Amino acid sequence: MTDQREVVIVRRPGRIPPEDGLAELLAAYHLRTEAEKGAAVAGVDGLPDRYRTEVLDPQTAFVDDVVLVASSGDTAMGCLVVTAPEEGRAEVKRLWTDPAFRGRGIASRLIGAALAHAAESGVSTVGLSVWKWRTGAIALYERLGFTVTESWDERDQLVCMELDCRLGVDG
């Protein structure tokens, strides 16, 4: 467990140092997600190729995106990826807070930093997708002003949400 130092959100556009804990956070995220989908794997080597690539080489996987890492001292506590803007739209992906650090507002701060980045980049809409069983995450997104929208993803049980950045957080 880390001490109670300030939590810092670091923005990493395209360059991700291997020592920042991102790979471990992504591994935990993907392993938990696969287990929740009923496809549990023993380790990173068992992940689907695209997810394994994110864990093993996040710098390449997210080269055009911005990665946010929340940390306290040398301890990585959470992460989030904001995709590169495309036609006024960006997407939030891979939001994960280490379970040992949940309940401290880390996810909210990561989303706030992502929305600030999107606004600075001229993005008008931020989208995200979340598995329907992640009710805590859905409630958080709704509290922050995201609304459920028509799905842009064909995967069953995926909820798509959007926020109009021009309205700001909480509309």
What is the residue extent of each domain of the chain?
A: 8-164
**Cα–Cα dist 159/148, whole Å:** 7
- For strands 125-131 and 89-97, give the pairing: parallel
Res. 21: pLDDT tops 60: yes
Of 61, 58, 67, 72, which is closest to residue 90 (Cα–Cα)?
67
Res. 12: pLDDT tops 60: yes
- CB of 19 within 8 A of CB of 29? no
Res. 167: pLDDT tops 90: no
Per the model's pLDDT, the better-predicted residue between 23 and 74 turns out to be 23
- Predicted confidence at residue 166, as pLDDT, reads 73
Per-residue confidence band for 48, with pLDDT thresholds at 50, 70 and 90: very high
Place of tokens 């401290």: 104
Res. 153: pLDDT tops 50: yes
Q: pLDDT exceeding 70 applies to what percent of the chain? A: 88
CATH class of 8-164: alpha beta
Give the angle 15-164-145 at the CA atoms, nearest 5°. Answer: 95
- Predicted confidence at residue 74, as pLDDT, reads 82
Tell me the per-residue pLDDT of 68-124, one tens digit each, with 9 for 90 and over. Answer: 999 888 888 999 999 999 999 999 999 999 999 999 999 999 999 999 999 888 999
